[in-house]
Amino acid sequence: MSSELAEKFLNEDYWDEDYPDEDYLNLNLDLPVPDWHLAILKERMERYRTADKTNWTTLEEFEKEIEQFMNSLKMQKD
């Protein structure tokens, strides 16, 4: 959550005693990212940067595949 969104959330009218106070949330927390995690992200970004994007499935194709799969499960159940 971005700092701006967190600030908006904390300023909402519906806060009451059940929610933690602002001191509980550190909105400017800057956690270090482990080197192994950065290496995985770099590897994945490089893999997709060099991949042939013409072979990727579009969202519409994916949705159609899911719909077909769900329909086949319904038919098996009947």
In the chain, where are the structural domains located?
Answer: 3-77
Over residues 21-44, the pLDDT tens digits come to 555 566 666 778 889 999 999 998
pLDDT band at 55 (very low <50, low <70, confident <90, very high): confident
Q: Is the pTM of this model over 0.85?
A: no
If you write DSSP's letter for every residue of 13-30 in order, what string do you get?
Answer: TT--TTSPPGGGS-TT--
CA–CA distance from 5 to each of 20, 31, 44, 50 (Å)? 17, 18, 28, 34
What's 54's DSSP letter? G
CB atoms within 10 A of CB 63: 11
Tokens of 77: 């159940």
Tokens of 61: 């194709």
User: What is the per-residue pLDDT for 78?
Assistant: 67
